[in-house]
Amino acid sequence: MKRTFAYGIGSLLIVSLVAFINVSIFLSIISVVSALCIGASGLLLRTMIGVGPWSAGMTSEGTEDKKDKRLGVHIGIFGLPYLVTTVLFLV
């Protein structure tokens, strides 16, 4: 998970080079990436799907799906630097 967070920070640093050209494009990019990461993470963790009250990380058969859960957590951690940067720039 540390490596995923480092990838998120590294890609944010690369994208931040766009801020020297145009700040509005930079804000658009980080907003879209953070929204996509939140959406993908929520769907993979099954927090946005109303199957039942205990549906987070569970398949329709009632078994836990560890691959989707792990991928959802990694996508969420990757998008965390983008989300924090978006909030800091918009506030």
Angle 66-90/23-44 helices, nearest 10 degrees?
A: 150
5 or 49: which carries more pLDDT confidence? Answer: 5
Instruction: Provide the residue ranges of all domains of the chain, joining segments of one domain with +.
Output: 2-84
Note the pLDDT tens digit of each residue in 31-83.
999 999 988 888 887 776 665 555 555 555 656 667 778 888 888 899 999 99
pLDDT of residue 69: 81
- pLDDT at position 6, please? 92
Closest C-alpha to 36, from 72, 66, 5: 72
Measured CA to CA, the distance from residue 35 to residue 14 in angstroms comes to: 19
Average pLDDT in the 3-32 region?
90
Q: Phi and psi of 64, rounded to 5°? A: -80, 135
Q: Tell whether the model's pLDDT for residue 85 goes beyond 80.
A: yes
